[in-house]
Structures are given as C-alpha cells and as structure tokens.
Amino acid sequence: MRFDVSKGAQYSTLSPALAVGDSEPDRNLALELVRVTEAAAIAGGHWVGFGDKNAADGAAVDAMRSLISTVHFNGVVVIGEGEKDEAPMLYNGEHVGDGTGALCDVAVDPIDGTRLTALGINNALAVLAVAERGTMFDPSAVFYMEKLVTGPEAADMVDLRLPVKQNLHLIAKAKGKKINQLNVMVLERDRHKPLVQEIRDAGARTRMLMDGDVAGGIAAAREGTDVDALMGIGGTPEGIITACAVKTLGGVIQGRLWPTSDDEKQKAIDAGHDLDRVMSTNDLVWSDNCYFAATGITDGDLLRGVRYKKDRVLTQSIVMRSKSGTIRVVDGEHQAHKWESYARTN
C-alpha cells in the first residue's frame, strides 16, 4: 500500500500584509512541525529501494505541503526547491501555514537524500526548520558552501581558515581524544579527494556520505553519535537548515560560499556577499528562537528509518527548539488506515 496524501492539499497564499498576528513562534510549534516531517517521511519512505528518486521526492513534497498547511503560523519558504517557475512545489517565496500566528522563515527539504531513499541507503531524512521572519541567511543563488561542523567542546577553537590538520588536532584536544580516534564525515565527491587525503594524513578517520549532509552535520554536533566533525563542500540550503539545529545543540557550523561558475560568483558579488568571509552559526540563522524537526526515512547516524508493519507505521523523529535548548526524540506509532485518511484531509 502506498499513501497518497496529495488529495485535498491546501496552502496559504496570504500575503504578509494580511497576516493575522505577528507574535514570535511559541513552544507548541515544535510538535506541530514533527507532524509535518512524519508525513513526508511516511510518504517518501514507501519508495525506499525502488530506484525512483523523483517518485519518492514527489510523494514527500505532497505530504509535506498537505500537513504544513495546517500549522499555526504564517510562514514564507526561504530555503525551498528553487524559484516558482522551476519548482512547482514548496518553492522559494511560497507562503505556508494556516496564515495566522507568528511570522516565520521556513526552510524545507522533504527528502534530504533522494538518492539514498531510492537506493535504500542510510541517512535519508525529511527535514523542516523554522525561525523568526527575516532571520535566515539568503545565499542569493550560491548553491554550495565549504563547511565545518563540530560539537560544543571545540566550538570556540576551530576555524575554517586553518589547515585541516590543525583543526583536527584542536577537536581532538577539546574532546580529550587521540587524533586517530576522530571520525570525520565527508560527502563522497571527486572534489573531496584532497580533503580526504589531508584528514587521513593527519591521522583521523573518514566516514563517507553518499548524499545528504544534514544528517552528517547534526551527528557531528550531537553528543553520543561517534561523529566528531563534518568537513567539505555541500549545499548552502542544507548548511542553513543545519544551523537551525546547531543553535540548540550548542556546537558550531562555519561556512564560506563556494560558487561553481563565474556567473554564480558574479551574482553573489552583486548581492553584496564577501566570498572570503567565514560565516558562523549566528550568521546563517540569527534568531535565538528557531526550530528544527526531522524524521528518519532510512536508518542512519541520527534516527531510525520508517518501518511499515501490517497495520502500523513506526517513525522516529527529533525536534529541537533553540530558545529553551530542548531536544526531543519522538517515537511515533501510527495506525496505517487512519493515517492515510487523516493525511488526505489534513
């Protein structure tokens, strides 16, 4: 059985000028967001291992759109799936939520790791992040950034401008480890071959990610994951989403824009970006009241993936709120026939 949650989907087209209320997001928003990522994970999870990443992404997008329309806030998608004409669903600038309550910036990734989902590989997530309106960094169409993520122990010691070996020694010292005990997440890309060699030459170990560095970045900042850092070039949107989680976890994400063409570089310069600038967590998201929610699609370093039983669907999610520093891991058990009916109408 595949869940079709697209029927009856609605979303707000309310303009900011017509917004009802402008209070800051409250604590109840956190658990509303988990409902949204659960829906996306359940819908996309039915396509795990079927080799069709577009079908998986489409199902997750439809589910996320359907459920996010019920959330009590007036959101604008700042980090989405492209411009309106290029991405028919959850595009940059789209208004989401029920149009009432707090004015918010929204970052969405219905599936962080569509290829992971299609191939049944670890670390695919449904992800959603929210912050107060106007507080998420606008990358101005620069799609990649160089990143460094680590946990609270070394947050004030590392610097993206330092040599890789020096940063690794600083992380090892802060964590009270030998450098050969460090695990460093890196996206498996040709561009990272020199980086991987530097990490190994320094004496640390690498853990390669096929795709989806949100899970890797959060694992690097979260205690108890056996991941000590994430390094390398990945998506700028994913970096901003990760920053929302790091605001709660207390680690650090540092990033430097990495244009892939002269045209992209010029757009960044025209938008006023300093391409040599190293941005930190508060530069990527400067609100002190932001939220992060994710639900596992496949098993991974952060969460278990969706499990489908005869009459039940099991999910595992994580939700964070930076203002209170609260992290919740939510194990969901959903009755399959009721969930399908509920998702279609909510």
Nearest of 297, 319, 336, 339 to residue 49 by alpha carbon: 297
Q: Does the annotation flag 153 for ligand binding?
A: no
Domain 24-134+289-342 belongs in CATH node 1.10.3720.10: no
For 250, left (φ over 0), alpha (ψ -120 to 50), or beta?
A: left
CA 333 and chain centroid, separation: 23
Q: Does the annotation flag 57 for ligand binding?
A: yes
Q: Does the annotation flag 250 for ligand binding?
A: no
Determine the residue type at 291: Y
Q: Does the annotation flag 272 for ligand binding?
A: no
The pLDDT assigned to 5 comes to: 36
Q: How far apart, in whole angstroms, are the C-alpha atoms of residue 126 and residue 36?
A: 9
pLDDT grade for 14, boundaries at 50, 70 and 90: very low
CA angle 130, 134, 136 (to 5 degrees): 55
CA angle 171, 177, 181 (to 5 degrees): 95
Q: Does the annotation flag 81 for ligand binding?
A: yes
Residue 262: how many other CB atoms lie within 10 Å: 8
Q: Does the annotation flag 283 for ligand binding?
A: no
In the block, which residue shows the tokens 């964070």? 320
Q: Does the annotation flag 112 for ligand binding?
A: yes
Please report, in angstroms and rounded to a whole number, the separation of the first and last CA atoms in the chain: 20
Architecture of domain 144-284 in CATH? 3-Layer(aba) Sandwich (3.40)
CA angle 332, 321, 121 (to 5 degrees): 50
Question: Cα separations (Å) of 1 from 4, 46, 56, 97, 311?
Answer: 9, 8, 14, 28, 11
Give the dihedral sign, CA 259/262/266/269. positive
Q: pLDDT tens across 35-53, in order?
A: 999 999 999 999 999 999 9
Strand partners, 316: 331
Is residue 13 scored above 60 in pLDDT?
Answer: no
The pLDDT assigned to 28 comes to: 78
According to DSSP, residue 41 is labeled H
Q: How far apart, in whole angstroms, are the C-alpha atoms of residue 109 and residue 125?
A: 8
The pLDDT assigned to 8 comes to: 31
Q: pLDDT tens across 316-343, in order?
A: 999 999 999 999 999 999 987 776 665 5
Q: Does the annotation flag 109 for ligand binding?
A: yes
* CB-based contact 275:247 (threshold 8 Å): no
* CB-based contact 64:32 (threshold 8 Å): no
State the DSSP string of 209-273: ESS-HHHHHHHHHSTTSS--EEEEEEEHHHHHHHHHHHHHH--EEEEEE--SSHHHHHHHHHTT-
Is residue 6 scored above 70 in pLDDT?
Answer: no
Q: Does the annotation flag 191 for ligand binding?
A: yes
CA 282 and chain centroid, separation: 16
Alpha helices (H) along the chain = 29-45, 53-68, 114-119, 164-175, 193-202, 213-221, 236-249, 262-270, 281-284, 336-345
Phi, psi of 97, deg, nearest 5: 95, -175
Strand partners, 76: 95, 105
Q: Does the annotation flag 105 for ligand binding?
A: no
Question: Cα separations (Å) of 87 from 15, 74, 81, 82, 270?
Answer: 20, 21, 6, 5, 24
Q: pLDDT tens across 203-243, in order?
A: 999 999 999 899 999 999 998 899 999 999 999 999 999 99
pLDDT grade for 175, boundaries at 50, 70 and 90: very high
Tell me the domain boundaries of the chain.
24-134+289-342, 144-284
CB contact set of 235 (below 8 Å; sequence gap of 6+): 143, 144, 145, 213
The pLDDT assigned to 85 comes to: 44
